[in-house]
Structures are given as C-alpha cells and as structure tokens.
Structure 1
Amino acid sequence: MTPERGRVLVVDDDRTNRMMVTYRLEINGIHAEAAESGHQALGIMRTETFDIVLLDILMPQMDGYTTLELMKSDPALRDTPVVMISQLDDMDSVVRCLELGAEDYLPKPLNSLLLMARINGILLRKRLMDMEEDCDTHLGVLIEALNSENDAFDPEPLRSIAGRDDRLGECARAVQRIIPAVSRRSHP
C-alpha cells in the first residue's frame, strides 16, 4: 500500500457514489472518509482535519450549497478546499458554487482521471503552502536569533532548524556559530 498523500472527506447521499469515489481515492494513496449528509459532514469536520472536501450539491435536508456556506462561515473550516460534485449541468450552478467559495466543480458521473488530476493539484498546492508557512516560521526564529542581544541569545530554538538538510538548516548552523563568537568578542 502506498503511503497516505492526503485526507479527503467525500460527502454524497448516494451510497454507491460514496463507495466508488472513496475506493478511487484509496487506491491512489489518499485517505478517504465518507459522510452521507451535510450535517454529518460538518460534524466530522469539527473533529477531524481534511485536506479537501468533495461535496455533492443535491442532497436531502441540507444541500451542498448550504453545507458550503456553513463551512465558509466557520473560521475553523473556511480554509478547507471544497470541490463540488453534481449531476446538475448548468452554468448557473457552477458559478454559484464558485461564488460561495468552492475551489472547483466536477460533473457526475465523475471521470476518474479528471478527479485525480484535480485532487492532486489541490494537494500539491496545499503542500507548497505548508512548506512556505514552515519556511516563514523558521525564518522568524532565525531573525529573532540574529536580533537578540548577545546575552539574551537562546540557541535552543535553532536546534530543530539546524538539523534540517537544506538552506534553512545551513543558515541556522551559521547563526549558531556566529552569535556565540560575537558574544565572546564583545565580552572579553
């Protein structure tokens, strides 16, 4: 089995559709969970984190539009990309979904290749954003170390960064060497 490449919540009231999409994702190394309604999906999303939500539009009780609106109004859920799926084949539905904040819209029946291309694109974009955020956090630690007064320098936050095998790690190791040397020169 391939390692997990992401987590997707499949929301569709049709059991067969849920099973087919979940299976397709799982064989491609993506962890998939399923919900049969918007209410159930919102409950699951409040306890688990997902990289993407595949959300059917036509469902009883709470349709996909309402579920999407509730997700986008919830600060804990609003940043989760949503791909709407539907048998509705009209431009108004596509536009409405995108205006409500959906990342994409795929028609049913789902084309497996198109589904995986869209999922992989969103997962790649998420990984890149996570890497950028991680890099920004580590750069902040490096800047704090460089701006610290010699006596206030704490090498501990740099240890995890210095263990990296990339340019950030190289920079952290240089800071670890330079600051103590500067401190010794300023306090003979």
Structure 2
Amino acid sequence: MLVVDDDRTNRMMVTYRLEINGIHAVAAESGQQALGIMRTESFDVVLLDILMPQMDGYTTLELMKNDPALRDTPVVMISQLDEVDSVIRCLELGAEDYLPKPLNSLLLMARINGILLRKRLTDMEEDYDNQLGVLIEALNTAEKDAFDPESLNPVADRNDRLGECARTLQRIIPAVSRHGHP
C-alpha cells in the first residue's frame, strides 16, 4: 500500500496503523514522488491526501487515472476537507473512496479490506479466464491434430473443476485422436 501525505506525522501514523494490521506500507511525501514510486513498484491501494503543495491530490489522482499503467490502482482519498463537493470531485476523477481526517482506524481498515477483497476476486477472475483460454487453445489445436497434452499441465495442476477439465482433456483428446474420431 502507498500512503501519500505531505505531513510527516500523518504519514507515519497511517503507515504505523497499516503495519500493525499486517499491511506493508510505503510512504511518499508528494504527488510527484508517489507517481515516481508507482512507476517502479505496484500497489494494491493508494491512500492519497488532497491538500498538498506543488501537486495536490486531485492532480495526482487525475494523472494516475490517465496513465494506463496506473489507472486500475484503487485510490482512497483522505483529507481534512469535509465538503460534499470535494468528495464528489474525487469520486468523479476515479477515486474508490474518500475518508475524512483524522482517520478512524477501524473505518480505514474496513475500507481497505473491502478494496483488497474486490482486488483478489478480480485477480482470481482474470486468472480463471486466462486458464480457460489455455483450455480453449488446447481444444483448437486438438481439432488440427496438433494437441500437446503437456500444454495443459499448468491448468491440470489446479485443484478445482477447471483442473479436472484439463486432466480429462489430457486423457480424452489423445485417445480420440488415436482412434480417428473427429
């Protein structure tokens, strides 16, 4: 997780809260520094302060959402600004959430855990889709008599229905090919 706040005390407090909850946190003191860090390291969530000198949180968020490498990183905006217009602006710019300062530790962790859960589910769905693509490719190669049963090993190693399907295809396709069935 990346914590971006120009106030050293706030950065340290939030980082500490995250660390005691088992979440590794990296701190940045400006939007510019945060963007540089994000271009070399990926983060599951970014906590981004709005009120910062030089480049404020709005601009940082906008630059993130316009960068294909960063746009999918969930951002939680944090600020002492408690104006509805500020919340709306952040959400319109693509923030996942908005939390007022001072941060409530329980609320912070609940929101972060919710975002991390959604991210894990999305990652699992992408992985499942990729593995399904491997199965489809194997079926396409079998149709052309170019099937290699070992091409399904990464999927067959799974302990779920997709793995079971891959193991079945590894058995059936060579048998069907040997007997000359279409």
Q: Give the TM-score band, short-chain normalised.
A: over 0.9
Q: Which residue of 1 aligns with 2:12?
A: 19
Shift of 1:28: 1.3
Alignment counterpart, residue 71 of structure 1, candidates 64, 67, 70: 64
Shift of 1:157: 2.3
When normalised by structure 1's length, the TM-score is 0.93
Q: Which residue of 2 aligns with 1:172?
A: 166
Identity %: 86
Cα deviation 1:59-91 (Å, max 9, x = unaligned):
011100000011011111011000000000110
Cα deviation 1:6-52 (Å, max 9, x = unaligned):
xx100000111111111111111111000000000000000000011
CA distance in 2, matches of 1:139, 1:162: 11
How is 1:105-120 mapped onto 2 (pairs within 5 angstroms)?
A: 105-120=98-113
Structure 1: unaligned runs, 5 residues or longer: 1-7
User: How many equivalent pairs are there?
Assistant: 180
Q: Which residue of 1 aligns with 2:50?
A: 57
CA distance in 2, matches of 1:12, 1:66: 14
Structure 2: unaligned runs, 5 residues or longer: none
User: Stretches of 4+ moved more than 4 A in 1?
Assistant: none
Shift of 1:150: 5.4
CA distance in 2, matches of 1:144, 1:89: 52
- Please report the RMSD computed on the Cα atoms of aligned residues, expressed in angstroms: 1.0
Alignment counterpart, residue 155 of structure 2, candidates 161, 168, 180: 161
Please say if residues 11 and 53 of structure 1, whose CA atoms lie closer than 8 Å, have aligned partners that are also in contact.
yes
When normalised by structure 2's length, the TM-score is 0.96
How is 1:1-188 mapped onto 2 (pairs within 5 angstroms)?
A: 8-148=1-141, 149=143, 151-186=145-180
CA distance in 2, matches of 1:88, 1:110: 12
